[in-house]
Each structure stands twice: as C-alpha cells, then as structure tokens.
Structure 1
C-alpha cells in the first residue's frame, strides 16, 4: 500500500461515518502523519495555523477511532497502518491483519516533509500570479466596506477574536451590540492581524436585505471568477459549491448588518418572510467540516445561534460594550476641554464611539469645546443625529416591547416584573418574552436588589421615549 491507498481507506471510513469525503486539510494531515511530520510542519506546508490543524486532526482521529473501534491518534496511526491492521474489503474498512504476515510499506511513505515542502514551494512559484496560492497574499475583497478612519482601543476584543479564529478553529462568530458601538470597525481592523492565516478575506454588508440566493451569488462570483467557471442556478447547488470553497481554502467572510434581515414590529431575531433559509446557512457554517470562519455583525442575535451554541458547535458570540477609558481619545481628537469631566460624558453616552462623537461635535459647535458648560444641563442631551440613531432602534420594536419600554421609561427607578405586569395588559408569558427580547436588543438591562430582579431601560432610549 502507498499513501494514496491510505487516503482511500480513510476517505471510506469518513464517508461511512459522516456521509462526507475527506477535505483537503484532512488529506494533508494524513499524508503528514504517515511521513512523520509534526502538526507544525503540516501547518507550514499548507499555510494554516498549527492550532487549526490540531483541531481538524483531533476531529479526524475521533471519527476514525469510532469507525475502527479502537483509539486512533496521530502518534499511533502510522504504527497501525504499518502493522497491516487497516485494509479494505468490498463493503467496509476494518482493523485486522488477515494473514498475520509483515506488510512491506511502500517507499513512498518515507518521503520527507522537507521534500514535500520543496514540491509545494515549486508549485507556489509556478502559480506566483494566482492569488489563491500566493503565500501571505490573500485575495481581499472589501469593496462593500466603509472606510475606517479611526480605531479606538479594543485590544482585548481583538485578542479574543484572533484566538477564536486562529487557535480554536471557530467557524461562526456573532458580533453583537448597539448601533455605533464599533462592530464594523472592529471586524475590519481585525483583518490586518490575521490576514496571513487566510486565502480569502471578504466583507459584505446586508444593509439592503439581499436574499440568501443573492448573497451566495455575490460570494461565489469572487471564487468563480478566479476559477473561470459559471455560477450554478439552483440555491442548493450554490450552497454546496460555496462550502466546497470553504473547505478548499481558508476563508474569512464578514457579513455586516444582519439585523436588516429581521422583521420590524416583531421580537428580536425574527426573519422577514422569505429570509428563513439564512437559518440553514448559518447552521451549516457551524456544523459542516471546513477550515473557514464567518463573522456575523448584528444589533440582534439570530435566534438559531443560541441553539447551535447549545449543541457545542465551533460557534462563539462576542457582545461589544463600552469603550471605557479608551473613549477619551475621541475627545482628544475633537480638542475638547475639561478632561476631568470626560468620564461623565463616557458614562452618560455609554462609551458608544458613534454617540460620543456626535455629542463631541455638538460641544464643539455650541460650547466652544467646553465640556463643563455642556454639563450644566442635567438631563441627557440628545442631538438630532443621536435621536435618529435611537429612532432606528425604537422603530424595530414590537407593540408589546414599545408598551414595556414606555412603562420603564416613565418610572424614576427600575421595576420588577410584577410592577410592570400591573401597568400593562400583557400575560405572564407575553411579558417574559417581551423583556427577553428587549434584553437581546441591549435596550433593557437587569439589576439585582434584595435578591430580586429589576429591569431598567437604556437611559438614552428612556430620554428619547419621553419625547415621542
């Protein structure tokens, strides 16, 4: 037997268990294992991170172990093979040595990793002008992306995202937060630090609510133009073809403004009619074996993500909060005075960089950059542009949510569920679902008092609601 026979046997095992054939990286791990290559060497040969190769390898050994009925791992796979314990009959691949005789391993198995790397290097040199195969030069398509002029410190969030993608092999990340909190800026700034780990990096905004068919067509155009092949017509075929690319290449796809796929006037995360198939798309991203990552930016968490996370899939959610002290850089850029008062502004406007920038501009124009003069006014000041932002959130609410928001906004203090219940005509279950939806929109937060749960509305939205 040679390497190709081993790959054929392994492919048969994997297909028997999963209904799917070996992907490129799984084949590379098997080849490297037989050639006594380390995970580090395999990763180097195939321009992937070592942690991602280890993760794919562990999943591969797990499936093979289940099919063979014994523990198989990188350290013993070659030994099992060389002892002739793996062979293929007409129906299945099993562990056994029929004759008990020693098996002579084909000399092809002794090809060194160095030789393989030399071959790979020659292949790369011959394809130097092909962005799919050029080392450290991924195909980056950010035609849809806004220009990022300022990035305020999100070091911890960047580190978390990089770890999830590069070390943990996470396939689907949901980046959540209010409008203006910095989701788009963070995801685009992330690219500089991780681009050498990917073959393709693509950003697309869904702000005009494209159908899944339109989104898949848009993504496939990038790959198919490179391969000079036609995009299939059927949705199912488009989906299958995209996942072939996600397996073949290490891709990062950023899909922004996911909330535009959801219905206004319903609870958070409910899709518009005709958009439910996005649920299947996200589910497949999380479940199907591939070497890519998709980031979803949204004001609201897609409802299906919670179920996928519960199933312990390679999925993570990051909620962006206040910039805290880093927000002071916004005021420095605007040349605001009275730095001792800046923390008050940050707390009032919740460390939201967009909202702080709007208020800083107002202070520049009306108060000659003097923050202390602006703070003479006790109530939160909502400039026109900030009111427009809050209006966007308020318009998305269901009738039940608007009712509860109004009750909470008219109260001088936080309320418990019983207090809200007495002021509305909602049933117990309706109220619980309504509060849950508002929390998922980041418009209501919980407070604990005397071992009881209370709820308070976002202070700026509270001020807005009082005016409408």
Structure 2
C-alpha cells in the first residue's frame, strides 16, 4: 500500500476524532515511523527535542487507539493502519460478509468505524483579526502568485514566508486576497501592520492577547516567544506582518534593524527553526537578512518576489476610462506593470490628456517614463533610505545606456571594493537593481523608473 494512501487514511481518522487534520509534524512522525526511524532521528531532522517528538507521537497513537478500538503503538501503527484501511475500503463494496482477494473480513468489519472523506478544511469557525488592514476595492488577476503562496502555506506547511517587491507592486492586496482564499484552513488569521514600528515587546504582547485575552503575559522576551510558539503549535495560524521595512534603519544597508528592534531577528529565527503548525507571512520592500540566510538552509522558509501585473493591468487603465487601447501595453511596460505607478500615471493622463494614452506617450521624445508628482514622492521615500554609497552607485548607473558589469562600475564609482559590493547587494535587496547573466558575467541596470527618477533629481 502506498505511503500517501496510508497518510490520507490516517488524516481521515484524526479528522473524524478531533475535527482537525494532521499537521506537518504529525505527518513527519508517521512517515519516519513507517520507515523505521527512531524518535531521536526524527527530532534531529526537525530541530525538536526527542521528548517533544515522543509527546506528539504518543498523543497521535492515542487518537488512533480511540478510533480503531485497538492499542496502537510506534511498533504496530503501520500494520494496524494498513489493515484498518483495507477493511474500511471493503465496506464500500459490501454491506455484510465480503471477501476481497480471498480474505474474509466479516469478523473485523463491525469493529471498525466507517471513515468518510472530508474536505480539506478546518471545520470550526476561524478567528479572523485583520486589525488595521486596508480595505480591498479592486483586485487584479494574480492567479499564479496566489497558487504558489497557497501551496507553500497550506500544502508544504512553510513556517516563514517573505512576500517581497518594490513599493506599489501590490503585496498587501495580494496577501489580503490570499487570506480570503485560504481562511478555512486556519484556526486564527491575523494581520498587523508594522508601519509605525512597534517594538518586539509590543507586537508579541498584542499577539499573545489575541490567543489568551485574560492570560498573564510574561515580561521577558524569551518567555513571550516561548508562549507564542506554544500557541502556534496548539492552533493552525496564519499571521501576516506588513511593512517590515519600517523596522529597518534609514540610511543603513538594507535589512539592518533600528536600535532596540534587534529582537525581531530572534522572533523570526524561532518561527523558522522551531516545530509548530503555523505560518508567518512577512511583507516588505526590503529583504531581511535572516530570510536571506534562512531560506538557503531551511526547507520551511521561502521568499516570493512579486513582479509586474502584466496584461491584467489593463483593468486599471479601463477603470480610468483611458483611450487608445492599442497603446496600453506600451504604457504598462514603461511603468513595470506596477499597479500604484499606473494608478498615478493614469490619473495624470485623464486630467491633462483627456485620457488619451497615445498623446501622453508622444509627449516624451526620449521614451523615458514620465514621473508625475505623486510617483516622484513615492520614490523619494525609498531613495531617502539609501546609504551615501548606494546613492553614488545609483547616480552612476542612471547615466549608463547599457547594462554594466561590476568591474565597469568599479572604474566609475569612487568606492572601496567592499563598500561597492555591500552597496550593490543592498540595492538588490531593495529590488532597485535589475541583473542579467551573459555567459559567466552579471550585468546590472537600474529599474527604468528609478533610473529616470535619479536623472531628474540630480540633473541640476
């Protein structure tokens, strides 16, 4: 009998008894047990203590024992589940005595429960706390992106995911649409914005109050983290933390926490490395250093870079009643398919060009993006966060007409090699650089809209 069939049957049994499906740790314990692995080995591979694995396994064996009316243990769980599934299957083809493959099952049939397939959803009502989440008025097609994130969260049981991309690309809208799409899989769904830079203690206290409104909340950060992890084990939770970049220092390399905010590093590291059944989704226009490190070594950590809206952006232009639809694709490409940038630009076209896209595009003889005041103000907020070294690199790249390699940049920028490499890496983590491989060499350009912004800013 295939392993996945046994696991599916085991999931049905647990669901019938508890109303909840197997979590990722329970599935791992079953898989490894079926293959003869010891608890110590399972604990080592899952970064858990052996005692914790034994406790989870013992609870799982008890559930099977209660449902199947047999004493289930680590040594016999596979054979009992195989036999139970076989008998259960036979009940679908016979109501009384039956023989399958010359094996009489009538004596066992009355002892076993009829397990029916259940939809893959949490049956109880989810606790949804969206806090200060913005209301979504329009959502444009992100089918592939939603499917990828749903698979990582629901199927693969990722613990830490970073949803990344330049400002205005639609990260928050996508996350809120994702919550609506997968909410039945969770006991708790929580959204919190970090735009006002809450301290680690403040955000942990706020989260703990949701799980236990009357419970005592410890003062020490380590105890708060431990309590949160316990809740993430007990319940299936999706917690979205938006505007992560607001925890990072302005004028420093990307991903460096403000003074007093370093414990967020501990929070995210714990979330990624400790066993639980929940997921934290981070939204940011800067990639955090811990995510960059953890995703290379931890199978439960991923980052997703959100890109152009593509042809779906035509819906934005249609809502603004723009004309010359044959020119829309050119306009979308010029503004990188960024929904916010297109909103700003479409408003300008409507107000100054009577909605005529062709007339707007012809207005610029050099084919560079035209930046309205609102768009420049939005880019100002991102550019002002750069270090002097990053600004020096962007100024040089803005004057290049072709992609350039690192050796070429070194010739034009008066920075030490280490300062240059750090600046380039930081710009990449802010998603302001475009990199292309040609042969064995990497070539870099600025995001075209940012390139025009830098030219405008430093043209005098």
Identify the TM-score tier after normalising by the shorter chain. Answer: 0.7 to 0.9
**Secondary structure class of the residue paired with 1:188:** helix
**Secondary structure class of the residue paired with 1:310:** helix
Deviation at 1:114, TM superposition (A): 6.5
Deviation at 1:319, TM superposition (A): 0.5
Q: Structure 1 residues 394 and 365 mapped into 2: Cα distance closer, same or farther (>3 Å)?
A: same
Gaps of 5+ in 2: 1-5, 43-53, 65-70, 79-109, 117-121
1:211 match: 199
Q: Structure 1 residues 451 and 311 mapped into 2: Cα distance closer, same or farther (>3 Å)?
A: closer
Q: Structure 1 residues 45 and 165 mapped into 2: Cα distance closer, same or farther (>3 Å)?
A: farther
Spell out the pairing of 1:319-398 with structure 2 (5 A cutoff): 319-378=305-364, 379-398=368-387
1:173 match: 161
CA contact (8 A) 1:165 1:293 kept: yes
Deviation at 1:198, TM superposition (A): 0.4
Deviation at 1:220, TM superposition (A): 1.1
Give the aligned CA root-mean-square deviation in angstroms: 3.1
Spell out the pairing of 1:238-387 with structure 2 (5 A cutoff): 238-378=224-364, 379-387=368-376
1:427 match: 416
Deviation at 1:234, TM superposition (A): 2.3
Q: 2: CA distance between counterparts of 1:335 and 1:299?
A: 30
Q: 1: CA distance between counterparts of 2:439 and 2:74?
A: 63
Q: Structure 1 residues 247 and 370 mapped into 2: Cα distance closer, same or farther (>3 Å)?
A: same
Q: Structure 1 residues 311 and 53 mapped into 2: Cα distance closer, same or farther (>3 Å)?
A: closer
**Secondary structure class of the residue paired with 1:233:** coil
Deviation at 1:229, TM superposition (A): 1.8
Q: 2: CA distance between counterparts of 1:113 and 1:243?
A: 35
Q: Structure 1 residues 82 and 432 mapped into 2: Cα distance closer, same or farther (>3 Å)?
A: closer
Deviation at 1:113, TM superposition (A): 5.9
Structure 2 residue 396 is the aligned partner of structure 1 residue 407: yes
Q: 1: CA distance between counterparts of 2:77 and 2:432?
A: 62
Deviation at 1:206, TM superposition (A): 0.4
2:212 match: 224
Structure 2 residue 187 is the aligned partner of structure 1 residue 192: no
**Secondary structure class of the residue paired with 1:80:** coil
Q: Structure 1 residues 79 and 271 mapped into 2: Cα distance closer, same or farther (>3 Å)?
A: closer
Q: 1: CA distance between counterparts of 2:175 and 2:430?
A: 20
Q: 2: CA distance between counterparts of 1:194 and 1:201?
A: 10
Q: 2: CA distance between counterparts of 1:402 and 1:68?
A: 51
The alignment's TM-score, normalised by the length of structure 1, stands at 0.77
CA contact (8 A) 1:348 1:380 kept: yes
CA contact (8 A) 1:49 1:166 kept: no
Q: Aligned pair count?
A: 389
Spell out the pairing of 1:50-89 with structure 2 (5 A cutoff): 52=24, 55-58=27-30, 61=33, 65-67=37-39, 78=73, 80=75
Gaps of 5+ in 1: 1-31, 84-109, 118-133
Q: Structure 1 residues 294 and 446 mapped into 2: Cα distance closer, same or farther (>3 Å)?
A: same
The alignment's TM-score, normalised by the length of structure 2, stands at 0.78
Q: 2: CA distance between counterparts of 1:189 and 1:169?
A: 19
Q: Structure 1 residues 37 and 160 mapped into 2: Cα distance closer, same or farther (>3 Å)?
A: closer
| 246-255 or 458-467, which deviates more | 458-467
Return structure 1 stretches of 4+ with deviation > 6 angstroms.
72-77
